Amino acid sequence: MSATLTSQERVGRMFARKDHDRVPRYESFWGETITRWKGEGLFGDHQTVLDLLQADIWTLQWCWPQSFPGQNIVVEEDELTRVVRDGFGKTVRYWKDKAGTPEHLGFDCDSREKWEKIYKPALLGTGLQNDPAAVVRRYREGRAKGMWCSLIGVEPFEETRALVGDEMTAIAMAEDPEWVRDIAVTFTDAVIMNLDALTATGITPDSLWIYGDMAYNHATFCSPAMYKDMIWPEHKRLADWAHAHRMKFIYHTDGNVNSVMDMWVEAGFDCFQPIEAKASMDIRNLVPKYGDKLAFFGNVDVMVMMTNDRDRIEQEVRSKLAAGMSKKCYIYHSDHSVPPQVSWETYKFIMGLLDKYGNY
The model's pLDDT over 233-255, given as tens digits with 9 standing for 90+, comes to 999 999 999 999 999 999 999 99
| Strand ranges for the chain from DSSP E | 57-63, 72-77, 81-86, 90-95, 103-107, 148-154, 207-211, 248-253, 271-274, 295-297, 330-331
Q: Has residue 70 got a pLDDT over 80?
A: yes
Q: Is residue 154 part of a domain?
A: yes
Would you tell me the crossing angle of helices 46-53 and 344-357 to the nearest 10 degrees?
A: 30
> What pTM did the predictor assign?
0.97
Give the other-Cβ count within 10 Å of 252's Cβ. Answer: 22
Range of the domain at 144: 7-65+127-357
Give the separation between CA 49 and CA 56, rounded to whole angstroms: 12
Q: Is residue 139 part of a domain?
A: yes
Q: Is residue 47 part of a domain?
A: yes
**Is the separation of the CB atoms in 219 and 25 below 8 Å?**
no
Q: Has residue 2 got a pLDDT over 80?
A: no
DSSP sequence for 105-165: EEES--SHHHIIIIIHHHHHHS---S-HHHHHHHHHHHHHTT-EEEEEEE-HHHHHHHHHH
Q: Is residue 105 part of a domain?
A: no
H runs (alpha helix) in 276-331: 283-290, 302-305, 310-325
pLDDT tens readout for residues 250-287: 999 999 999 999 999 999 999 999 999 999 999 999 99
**Is the separation of the CB atoms in 206 and 8 below 8 Å?**
yes
pLDDT tens readout for residues 304-335: 999 999 999 999 999 999 999 999 999 999 99
pLDDT for the residue numbered 52: 98
Phi and psi at residue 61, in whole multiples of 5°? -75, 140
Give the other-Cβ count within 10 Å of 25's Cβ. Answer: 20
pLDDT tens readout for residues 194-212: 999 999 999 999 999 999 9
**Is the separation of the CB atoms in 234 and 156 below 8 Å?**
yes
Give the separation between CA 15 and CA 293, rounded to whole angstroms: 10
pLDDT for the residue numbered 3: 59
pLDDT tens readout for residues 140-193: 999 999 999 999 999 999 999 999 999 999 999 999 999 999 999 999 999 999
Give the separation between CA 58 and CA 55, rounded to whole angstroms: 8
Q: Is residue 73 part of a domain?
A: no
Q: At 138, which CATH number? A: 3.20.20.210
Domain count, the chain: 1
Give buried/exposed letters for 330-339 (b at 16+ CB in 10 A, else e). Answer: bbbbbbbebb
Q: Is residue 215 part of a domain?
A: yes
Give the separation between CA 12 and CA 219, rounded to whole angstroms: 32
Mean pLDDT of 340-352: 98
Model confidence at 91, pLDDT cuts 50, 70, 90, reads very high
Q: Is residue 184 part of a domain?
A: yes
H runs (alpha helix) in 30-131: 31-39, 46-53, 112-114, 120-125
Q: Is residue 43 part of a domain?
A: yes
pLDDT tens readout for residues 92-106: 999 988 877 889 999
Mean pLDDT of 68-83: 94
